[in-house]
Amino acid sequence: MGPATVNGYCAPEFAGVREAFERNFGEHGDVGAAVAVTVDGAAVVDLWGGHADADRTRVWERDTLVNVYSTSKGMTALCAHLLADRGELDLDAPVARYWPEFAQAGKQDIPVRWLLSHRAGLIAPSEPLPPGRAYDWERVCADLAATAPWWEPGTAQGYHAVTFGYLVGEVVRRITGQSLGAFLRSEITGPLGARVFIGTPVEEHASCADMIGQLDEARLGERLPGVPKPPFRSITDHPLTAVLLALTYIPTGDVNSAAYRSAEIPAGNGHATAHGLATVYGALACGTLVGPATLEEMRRSQSLPGEHDLALGALAPAGFEHRWGLGYLLNHHGLAGPNPRAFGHGGVGGSYAFADPENGVSYAYVMNKCGGGTTGDDPRNLGLIAAVYAALEGVRG
């Protein structure tokens, strides 16, 4: 197979980013991908290349959408923060103020803040849901409202891999009367002209790339020998129980199906272009989406020093800390460049997007060949981000 054709725009000063992007196809197995970078609101990189399917019959275009898994969480969290910025949502108020049914099973005092920071203990419903239930918003939310927390809320953080989107999304829905995806389009991505969807319209399905090597939650346990099979009674059943709870209790099915693309699963089925994600994070980096106080609150650490994440921690390298802001991963390990105040979110497979307000930078990378995890620690991202900041240093001296 010959080298992938790369198209798009790259400012001369950022030629190193183009070179890193091209290397990803030859050295890291990218099939189809895109990368976009803005500086002070202006696009300096907007590149795409390769193919939108495993058989390489469809060329990747600028408007090709692709499932970005948990990179979606950054968009979902932003919807809540926009409401907080407008004074319509109090992050320290009980969730039950906005969603009365949530008060069941001793959850009446859980604040909205703990939903955003993965501290609510609602990593999964009480019982595994049947296939297809993930597409029934009201049923999933009813199941979560009836579920008792898996640990004492507020005392620990554990990545709510799938439930995050329903929990935050239902608060948004109760306040606005719109689904999370509809609110995102009407208030954020639509006005910005950003191609980012949660609940992708049928007319956009032809623009969607197929994921290659997609996550198969149904078979996750089979790849982890010795792990007990669900249903689980406690997160202490096994060191990896929290991971399995988070990923398998709400099976989302085939991510290349029309049903999946049309559904709203706001923690993990956003479909976006790199340009679209970079546009949204660029607006955050430039301070045009929310006010300065809200921007600071979004990236204020909600984690204790050295705190272990009950789910992601089981899969992380020794010594790796997951530091959560309010819906965002904080740049604790330099994965989003040199600024420790940069923030964003990645997705299983390798997609990643972030804002660096101090440098006026936004970055987004999307792809269809699954590789790394949710933290941005994928060699494709690491090479691209290193090239971005090397170029920026050269430009600014």
* CA neighbor of 369 nearest in space, from 79, 50, 73, 129: 50
pLDDT of res. 208: 98
Q: Is the model's pLDDT at 371 over the cut of 90?
A: no
The amino acid at 290: V
Contact 46, 7 (CB under 8 A): no
Q: How far apart are CA 66 and CA 52, in angstroms?
A: 9
Q: How far apart are CA 189 and CA 221, in angstroms?
A: 37
Q: Is the model's pLDDT at 220 over the cut of 70?
A: no
On the 0-12 / 13-18 / 19+ scale of CB atoms within 10 A, 376 is: buried
pLDDT of res. 321: 81
State the angle between helix axes of 379-396 and 15-27 in degrees (0 to 180), rounded to the nearest 10.
170
Percent helix, strand and coil across the chain, each to the nearest 5:
40, 15, 45
What is the domain extent for residue 85?
1-397
Q: Is the model's pLDDT at 312 over the cut of 80?
A: yes
DSSP 308: P
What residue has token string 């193919």?
A: 51
Catalytic machinery residues: 70
What average pLDDT does this structure show over 260-288? Answer: 98
E strand or H helix that includes residue 242? helix 241-248
pLDDT of res. 2: 55
On the 0-12 / 13-18 / 19+ scale of CB atoms within 10 A, 203 is: exposed
Query: pLDDT above 90 covers what percent of the chain?
Result: 83
**What tokens does 123 get?**
């990593």
Mean pLDDT of the chain: 94
Q: How far apart are CA 24 and CA 281, in angstroms?
A: 23
The amino acid at 112: V
- Tally the domains of the chain: 1
User: Which pTM value belongs to this model?
Assistant: 0.96
Confidence band, pLDDT 50/70/90 cuts, at residue 299:
very high
**What is the side-by-side order of every strand in the sheet holding 196-198?**
66-67, 270-272, 196-198
Q: How far apart are CA 51 and CA 368, in angstroms?
A: 9
pLDDT tens-digit map of 159-202:
999 999 999 999 999 999 999 999 999 999 999 999 999 999 99
**What tokens does 194 get?**
């950003």
What average pLDDT does this structure show over 229-257? Answer: 90
Phi, psi of 7 (to 5 degrees): -120, 170
CATH number for the domain harbouring residue 288:
3.40.710.10
pLDDT of res. 240: 86
CA atoms within 13 A on the CB side of 107: 26
Q: Is the model's pLDDT at 377 over the cut of 90?
A: no
Contact 194, 280 (CB under 8 A): yes
Q: Is the model's pLDDT at 224 over the cut of 70?
A: no
**What tokens does 113 get?**
């803040």
pLDDT of res. 346: 95
pLDDT of res. 288: 96
pLDDT tens-digit map of 78-137:
999 999 999 999 999 999 999 999 999 999 999 999 999 999 999 999 999 999 999 999
pLDDT of res. 106: 97
